[in-house]
């Protein structure tokens, strides 16, 4: 009897501990690696990806429709090749465009997809032709300073 109640208490402790770990892994963590949804991969090349990271969200109209799977550097076009893992429940026309956006002022960067008008949809292995790079703060500041300097000369 003594042994039995001890087992119950220890069991309870272990169950609570494992449940807490599951909570951390599934609720707090980025659980997309466990995703069982069907996906198709497409690639997009960007001049500059800013601080985009693997596992960043791919959004269309603010809805998450996929994740960034891999980021590599293409040494033929000298561009960043970003592989996007798209949820197969969402289809996009072949001439859709991709741009790198920032969530809020200090937020994470993500890829935004804007649907085009083509009748055919993007499929596994397709490339997105039209892309827009991340806004790099230094470039924007430089442009601003140059334009101010140019104004001063006139």
62 binds another protein (CB under 8 A): no
150 binds another protein (CB under 8 A): no
Work out how close the CB of 68 gets to another protein at its nearest, in angstroms, rounded to a whole number: 11
Under 8 Å between Cβ of 131 and 99: yes
Work out how close the CB of 63 gets to another protein at its nearest, in angstroms, rounded to a whole number: 12
Figure out which of the listed residues 1, 33, 89, 151 binds another protein, where binding follows CB under 8 A: 33
137 binds another protein (CB under 8 A): no
- Binding residues for another protein, rule CB under 8 A, total 32
Figure out which of the listed residues 4, 27, 148, 153 binds another protein, where binding follows CB under 8 A: 27
Pick from 79, 52, 80: which is nearest to 68 by CA?
52
Residue 92, judged by CB atoms within 10 A of its CB (0-12, 13-18, 19+), counts as buried
Pick from 135, 130, 136, 117: which is nearest to 44 by CA?
130
**Dist. CA 79–CA 77, nearest whole Å:** 5
| Chain residues in the site for another protein (CB under 8 A) | 3, 6-7, 9-10, 12-14, 16-21, 23-25, 27-31, 33, 55-57, 103-108
């Amino acid at each position: 009897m003594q042994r039995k109640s001890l087992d119950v208490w220890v069991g309870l402790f272990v169950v609570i501990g494992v449940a807490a770990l599951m909570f951390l892994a599934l609720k707090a963590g980025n659980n997309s690696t466990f995703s069982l949804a069907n996906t198709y991969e497409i690639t997009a090349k960007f001049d500059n990806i800013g601080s985009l990271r693997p596992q960043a969200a791919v959004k269309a109209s603010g809805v998450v429709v996929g994740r960034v799977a891999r980021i590599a550097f293409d040494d033929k076009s000298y561009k960043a090749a970003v592989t996007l893992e798209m949820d197969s429940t969402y289809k996009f026309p072949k001439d859709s465009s991709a741009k790198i956006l920032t969530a809020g002022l200090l937020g994470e960067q993500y890829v935004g997809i804007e649907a085009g008008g083509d009748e055919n949809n993007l499929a596994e292995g397709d490339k997105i032709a039209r892309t827009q790079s991340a806004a790099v703060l230094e470039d924007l500041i430089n442009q601003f300073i140059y334009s101010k300097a140019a104004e001063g000369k006139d």
